[in-house]
Structure 1
Amino acid sequence: MHASTVRRLFRRTAATTALGAFAAGLSLVTPLAPATPAAAASGTFQQVTSFGSNPGNLAMYEYAPANLPADAPLVVALHGCTQSASDYHTHSGWQKFADEWGFAVVYPQTSTANNSLSCFSWFDSTKDTRDEGEAASVKQMVDTAVAQYGSDRGRVFVTGLSAGGGMTADLLADYPDVFAAGAVDSGLPAQCATTQSAASGCQYSSQNLTPQQWGDKVRNAYPGYTGPWPRVAIWQGTSDTTVTPVNGTELRDQWTDVWGVGQTASSTQTLTGGTTESIYDDSSGKPAVALFSVSGMTHGLAVNPGSGADQCGSTGTYYLTSICSSYYTAKFWGLDGSGGGSGSSGLPAPSGVTVTGTTDTGVSLSWTSVGGATSYDVYRDGTKVGSATSTSYTDTGLPPGTSYRYSVAAVGSTGAAGTPSTPVTATTTGAAPQCYTDNNYNQVAAGRAHQSGGYTYANGSDQSMGLYNVAVTHTLKETSPGYFVLADSGC
């Protein structure tokens, strides 16, 4: 939502209610100061100060769990107005699932220099289109993180709340070649408004467009694109008066049209927190679009604090207790190892999943049989890599010295997979990624770092290593040829 609308709503009501303008979801938080040079791979939330030309004048923050394997997924999470990256990291629940299921998270952050209320500019065609402004800056963050972590480019995802949700929809339209899937939380359809003056109309009322007209806005964002489209999850509260529920319907119309499917749900089910999930399958029967309608929820991000497997997040101003949206979004994307979507056979997860052997190029697994199963799907880092009719499987053609997370799901007679097992980790034998511990002077001399202005920086990641002398020692890990990251806490 643009700044003038938020100011008007601020004047209309008391301070607590005023934040229900598009600044919603969004407690005022001072942005986290740049972190000291600690490796993000050790579970540190930190700022990355160099990630490209940054035409959108954004800041980049990131988080990754300890011992993140190569080829892990990458999630981009965008905050809403008046919010910061650290606030979204704290409340949204994404850290829990990054730790649990093994993926990195990038948190773009805008500021009052870009917008008086620190909103992402989802309504500005000079900032939210392919290779322009803020959209281009986010793409540069993705490229930087992929190089740093060795992330799987086929599993890069984007999500956002409110203004961040509007920008998420734009990014999915701008870069369908970058993002495999996305989630728009209390947000707007892609390219709903192209000027600030048109933003209020999108927020508060129907635009009276057909599904094809909505779909054309996506197709026109990257003319000539012929590849696969991102899968899209949509979250909308039925009592939202800041981004009214019609936006959820319009997002559904937009992305089902892009996928070439109708607007009648393939399946529906009731979830916790008064949530109705409606799934729209593609022509192969795989979920392409999901609409999560949360009964009675106003404007904000749905969280469900607690220690349960399907709980996450913490409450705050416009972080609303109902359901853990991050959990269901991650499952829809397949980050839990299930492959994503719905259509479960209802079969339980196989028990006793065990790594029975490893070589420098392969991993062997076994598990206990499940009654009613006709076969088993095997997932590596969340992606299906094969199936077996017995209770064992060997994955081959892998690089040496690399860790992977495997899970197994039983498949019923209808061909639908059941609940996946808890992931197990296997590491191929052979040489692991190389690490080097030395003083800063020798790291530079060896070509693993460079110095500028008396300070040392890791080649590739540009992470600060401190003064350029022999008194400062660090460990550098080479995650890809010529790309080094700090690994002081363990390699």
Structure 2
Amino acid sequence: MADECGIALLFPGQRLTNNLIGSFNWFETGDSQRGGGEPLSIRQMIKQVVDDHSVDPSRVFVTGMSSGGAMTSVMLATYPEVFAGGAIIAGLPYRSADNMMEAMVRMNGYGSPSDRQLDALVRGASKFTGPWPTISVWHGDSDTTVDNSNASAIVRQWQKIHKVEGPATRVEMVDGYPREVWCDADGRVVIEHYIIGEMGHGTPISADGNEGLGEEGEYMLEVGISSTRHIADFWGLTGSGAARRAESKTAA
């Protein structure tokens, strides 16, 4: 897709000296705040890519799965001015945990901060006042590694910030799966939420056909919907988002 659409990609990698299983330390205080740790390191990488490749700074996006999804939440909260949008796949809300023990509890779907706390955590992460990045949330309903209640908590964390509290503006079926969207006062979709039925812990892919992407494997789960394409459409990177969603929509 990067070749197809002319997208510059950055893949930040974790050092095993920082985390023995190569995950991001999204739950550590020093790695979940602006100006230090892993968020600052990733921010510096982004600036380097933007400068080196003359990337439009208003068209920078961030996505990740699992600990990468949780770190996506961290980046969107701590450096919201950097991103036009973010996509959190099988992740967790920003600052929902402050240590490893809490992280394990939250991953199992217990003890999430209140909606008021979730909102305050993002607002307190920077001095930014908007406009805020758009949010795309994806999660499998059979995920036994990160409970899908975290997906709903992510949506709630950003609803008040985007001034779209309450039920979804509409629900539609896309490639056989429900897509909830929340629209702002101008009718722009600012939050979207996909729950993928019977999918475990991983990234939803659709590898078949002319527009297939990826290859089924560990954490790359063939479920007949390409999160990659739909997220890129949502961000306006493909130039065909509205048309593609219209083709794949079966009910509204």
- Sort the TM-score into its range (normalised by shorter chain): over 0.9
Structure 2: runs of 5 or more not aligned: 248-252
- Percent pairwise identity: 35
Match of 1:215 in 2: 119
Contact 1:161 1:300 in 2 (8 A): yes
Structure 1 residue 286 corresponds to structure 2 residue 188:
yes
Contact 1:206 1:247 in 2 (8 A): no
Task: Kindly state the Cα deviation for residue 212 of structure 1 after the two structures are TM-superposed.
Answer: 2.8
SS in 1 for 2:139: strand
Provide the C-alpha distance between the structure 1 equivalents of 2:232 and 2:174, rounded to a whole number of angstroms. Answer: 15
Match of 1:109 in 2: 13
CA deviations 1:26-65 (Å, max 9, x no partner) are xxxxxxxxxxxxxxxxxxxxxxxxxxxxxxxxxxxxxxxx
Structure 1 residue 313 corresponds to structure 2 residue 217:
no
**One of 114, 123, 132 as aligned partner of 2:27:** 123
Provide the C-alpha distance between the structure 2 equivalents of 1:320 and 1:161, rounded to a whole number of angstroms. Answer: 12
Match of 2:146 in 1: 243
Contact 1:127 1:134 in 2 (8 A): yes
Structure with the bigger RCO (C-alpha within 8 Å, sep 6+) is 2
Match of 2:41 in 1: 137
Provide the C-alpha distance between the structure 2 equivalents of 1:161 and 1:333, rounded to a whole number of angstroms. Answer: 17
Provide the C-alpha distance between the structure 1 equivalents of 2:95 and 2:22, rounded to a whole number of angstroms. Answer: 19
Match of 2:82 in 1: 178
Task: Kindly state the Cα deviation for residue 207 of structure 1 after the two structures are TM-superposed.
Answer: 2.9
Provide the C-alpha distance between the structure 2 equivalents of 1:230 and 1:206, rounded to a whole number of angstroms. Answer: 27
Provide the C-alpha distance between the structure 2 equivalents of 1:100 and 1:307, rounded to a whole number of angstroms. Answer: 16
Structure 1 residue 333 corresponds to structure 2 residue 199:
no
Provide the C-alpha distance between the structure 1 equivalents of 2:143 and 2:242, rounded to a whole number of angstroms. Answer: 26
Match of 1:192 in 2: 96
Provide the C-alpha distance between the structure 2 equivalents of 1:281 and 1:130, rounded to a whole number of angstroms. Answer: 28
Alignment of 1:401-420 (within 5 A): none
CA deviations 1:404-432 (Å, max 9, x no partner) are xxxxxxxxxxxxxxxxxxxxxxxxxxxxx
Structure 1 residue 295 corresponds to structure 2 residue 197:
yes
TM-score, normalised by the number of residues in structure 1: 0.48
Contact 1:111 1:117 in 2 (8 A): no
Q: Are the structure 2 counterparts of residues 208 and 164 from structure 1 closer, same or farther at C-alpha, using a change threshold of 3 Å?
A: closer
Q: Which has the larger radius of gyration?
A: 1
Provide the C-alpha distance between the structure 2 equivalents of 1:171 and 1:208, rounded to a whole number of angstroms. Answer: 19
Task: Kindly state the Cα deviation for residue 208 of structure 1 after the two structures are TM-superposed.
Answer: 4.9
Provide the C-alpha distance between the structure 2 equivalents of 1:293 and 1:263, rounded to a whole number of angstroms. Answer: 18
SS in 2 for 1:276: strand
Provide the C-alpha distance between the structure 1 equivalents of 2:64 and 2:157, rounded to a whole number of angstroms. Answer: 17
SS in 1 for 2:11: strand
Contact 1:286 1:341 in 2 (8 A): no
Give the letter for the 2:22 counterpart.
S
Give the letter for the 1:100 counterpart.
E
Q: Are the structure 2 counterparts of residues 330 and 120 from structure 1 closer, same or farther at C-alpha, using a change threshold of 3 Å?
A: same
SS in 1 for 2:145: coil
Structure 1: runs of 5 or more not aligned: 1-96, 349-491
Provide the C-alpha distance between the structure 2 equivalents of 1:213 and 1:283, rounded to a whole number of angstroms. Answer: 24
Give the letter for the 1:123 counterpart.
F
TM-score, normalised by the number of residues in structure 2: 0.92
Provide the C-alpha distance between the structure 2 equivalents of 1:208 and 1:241, rounded to a whole number of angstroms. Answer: 17
Structure 1 residue 267 corresponds to structure 2 residue 170:
yes
SS in 2 for 1:182: strand
Task: Kindly state the Cα deviation for residue 341 of structure 1 after the two structures are TM-superposed.
Answer: 7.1
Contact 2:96 2:113 in 1 (8 A): no
Task: Kindly state the Cα deviation for residue 243 of structure 1 after the two structures are TM-superposed.
Answer: 0.4
Match of 2:250 in 1: none
Contact 1:333 1:341 in 2 (8 A): no
Provide the C-alpha distance between the structure 2 equivalents of 1:106 and 1:276, rounded to a whole number of angstroms. Answer: 30
Provide the C-alpha distance between the structure 2 equivalents of 1:285 and 1:275, rounded to a whole number of angstroms. Answer: 22
Give the letter for the 1:103 counterpart.
I
Task: Kindly state the Cα deviation for residue 174 of structure 1 after the two structures are TM-superposed.
Answer: 0.4
Q: Are the structure 2 counterparts of residues 209 and 123 from structure 1 closer, same or farther at C-alpha, using a change threshold of 3 Å?
A: closer
Give the letter for the 1:318 counterpart.
Y
Provide the C-alpha distance between the structure 1 equivalents of 2:118 and 2:174, rounded to a whole number of angstroms. Answer: 28
Task: Kindly state the Cα deviation for residue 103 of structure 1 after the two structures are TM-superposed.
Answer: 1.0
CA deviations 1:40-99 (Å, max 9, x no partner) are xxxxxxxxxxxxxxxxxxxxxxxxxxxxxxxxxxxxxxxxxxxxxxxxxxxxxxxxx111
SS in 1 for 2:12: strand
Contact 1:237 1:297 in 2 (8 A): yes
Provide the C-alpha distance between the structure 2 equivalents of 1:269 and 1:186, rounded to a whole number of angstroms. Answer: 21
SS in 1 for 2:137: strand
Contact 1:238 1:297 in 2 (8 A): yes
Contact 1:120 1:163 in 2 (8 A): yes
Number of aligned residue pairs: 246
CA deviations 1:195-232 (Å, max 9, x no partner) are 2221012101243544332111111111x322211101
Contact 1:334 1:341 in 2 (8 A): no
Match of 2:159 in 1: 256
